[in-house]
């Protein structure tokens, strides 16, 4: 029994879509405990909190609007 061309096309399309969906880079996050996280950049921190739709709150009292370098934060 030969598989139908339509079935093969559907299977190929499914594999391509699954491969694209899983190839997205994940944000780099370290869990410090008690809901506190650390990331190497502010962009990684924003990307991580965006996954949950939670607002980002920086915990470093530097007073800098967009921190440069490693950041400590919470996703509230």
Residue 55 CB contacts under 8 Å (≥ 6 apart), including other chains: 49, 75, 76
* Residues composing the chain: 76
pLDDT at 72 over 60: yes
- pLDDT recorded at residue 59: 85
- pLDDT recorded at residue 68: 66
The 8-class DSSP code of residue 63 comes to -
> What's the pLDDT tens digit per position in 4-33?
777 767 777 766 666 555 445 566 888 888
- pLDDT recorded at residue 23: 47
> What's the pLDDT tens digit per position in 57-68?
888 655 555 556
Q: What is the CA radius of gyration of the chain?
A: 20
Q: Where are the domains of the chain?
A: 27-76
């Amino acid at each position: 029994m030969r598989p139908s061309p339509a079935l093969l096309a559907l299977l190929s399309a499914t594999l391509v879509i699954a491969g694209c969906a899983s190839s997205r880079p994940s944000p780099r996050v370290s869990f410090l405990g008690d809901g506190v996280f650390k990331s190497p950049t502010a962009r990684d921190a924003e990307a991580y909190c965006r996954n949950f739709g939670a607002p980002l709150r920086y915990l470093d009292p530097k007073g800098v609007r967009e921190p440069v370098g490693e950041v400590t934060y919470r996703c509230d």
